[in-house]
Amino acid sequence: MSKKQGTKRAPATPKLPPLLERKIYKTGQTRGADDDEIFQNRVARNSTVLIPYNYWETIPAPLKDESGFERGFIVLISPETFFLKENIQEEMISRGLELGVNALIFFEKRVDWKNYNPSDRGWQSAVRRTAPLGGQYVARISATTATGDGDKIVQGFTTTSTKGAGIRVYEYASKATIAACRLQLEALYWLCGDALEVAQAQEMSIADASTRKEYNKKACERLSLLDVERLKEQRLLSKNGKTMCPLCLEEVSANGFFSRVSQAEGRAVHDLTITQLNLFHVEELRIGRYGHRPYNLGWGHHHCNVVVRDSGIDETIIWMGQVIDKNIQEGYILPKTKED
């Protein structure tokens, strides 16, 4: 059989509207970081992770060997810990850590830079994220006007290709986990009550939207990502089985994926790109657990996300209840609606 007479290829899966496609894709990246920070800016969540030495014992054991983190890890040790802690060398060896191989001294305070200046020890700043790291230290010290030598100090991982040493350890997710999360997050779009109509309004034909929805559903089912009852328990679906904001529990419209947040009159920013719905972690990200995982990610209102921030939903709701109770106790009348 000739190549021309071979088996026909299956039709390509219809693409999502570009803005939605980018939004889902970006969920596999870390949060932003400034150039003067130790962290990389907007890179994949399976990148090299940075582990503070003092938190070493909180990292799950299976991840702390060569086959754990997909792109390895670097442990950051403070100068005070390295130079003042008794038996630090033996402790590092027992943990499989070696300076310049998978561990670095991290200078953040000017006083440490003065007391333990790396140039006095013939040390070099690190330049690589894999062993050997090319040096023994990295520095990110802010500028200050309090002294005559208060210029900022930024050494190690400063070139364009290596800017930033790695990512925050709690933002890590494997490549497979990132893919599963993207599938489930897309499913939550299709579980919005008006998803098909909104996709059509975004220049996706109803036939393509229906095909894409069915493709996503089957892919999620293969990976056990569409357990509706579990999604409800995790505050991701309403009792009606529709996508809702994990904090305010309001069912969301698919329009929120494409509409920008409203801005206060007189304070509008012309290039604002923040949409009404954003990635929402039900359990907040923190060292010692990995929150970027299926059944912990949803879509929530931008303003609800701002309120929760890094506190987590439970802690935020407790705080909100205390605020309301205090207002009632002090005799303030609470409006029932925004217009009241």
Return d(Cα 165, Cα 41) in angstroms, integer: 10
Give the model's pLDDT for residue 160. Answer: 77
Average pLDDT over residues 170-194: 97
Say whether pLDDT at 325 is over 80: yes
Return d(Cα 136, Cα 104) in angstroms, integer: 5
Instruction: Scan for tokens 């561990």, then name that residue.
Output: 103
Cα–Cα distance list, 308 to 51, 87, 242, 277 (Å): 25, 41, 22, 14
244 - beta bridge partners?
Answer: 251
Return d(Cα 66, Cα 71) in angstroms, integer: 9
Return d(Cα 94, Cα 81) in angstroms, integer: 16
Span 292-315, pLDDT tens digits: 999 999 999 999 999 998 888 999
Tokens coding 112: 């440490």
With 0.75 as the threshold, say if the pTM is over it: yes
Average pLDDT of the residues of the chain: 90
Which DSSP helix (H) or strand (E) runs through 297?
strand 297-301
Give the model's pLDDT for residue 264. Answer: 42
Among candidates 285, 268, 279, 329, which has minimal Cα distance to 306? 279
* Angle subtended at Cα 108 by Cα 105 and Cα 112, rounded to the nearest 5 degrees: 75
Could you tell me what percent of the chain has a pLDDT over 90?
75
**Comparison of pLDDT for 193 and 61, the residue scoring more:** 193
Return d(Cα 232, Cα 29) in angstroms, integer: 26
Peptide bond into 18 cis (omega under 30): no
Span 224-245, pLDDT tens digits: 999 999 999 999 999 999 999 9
**Comparison of pLDDT for 146 and 190, the residue scoring more:** 190
Average pLDDT over residues 31-58: 91
Say whether pLDDT at 268 is over 70: no
- For residue 51, count CB atoms less than 10 angstroms from its CB and return exposed for 0-12, middle for 13-18, buried for 19 or more: buried
Return d(Cα 292, Cα 316) in angstroms, integer: 19
Among candidates 179, 175, 159, 156, which has minimal Cα distance to 74? 156
Return d(Cα 171, Cα 46) in angstroms, integer: 9
Give the model's pLDDT for residue 260. Answer: 80
Burial profile 91-117: b = 16 or more Cβ within 10 angstroms, e = fewer: ebeeeebebbebbbbbbbebebbeebe
Give the model's pLDDT for residue 300. Answer: 97
Would you call 299 helix, strand, or coil by DSSP?
strand
Give the model's pLDDT for residue 285. Answer: 85
Say whether pLDDT at 262 is over 80: no
Say whether pLDDT at 44 is over 50: yes
Return d(Cα 278, Cα 309) in angstroms, integer: 12
Among candidates 184, 182, 176, 211, which has minimal Cα distance to 196? 211
Would you call 58 helix, strand, or coil by DSSP?
helix
Say whether pLDDT at 40 is over 90: yes
**Comparison of pLDDT for 191 and 4, the residue scoring more:** 191
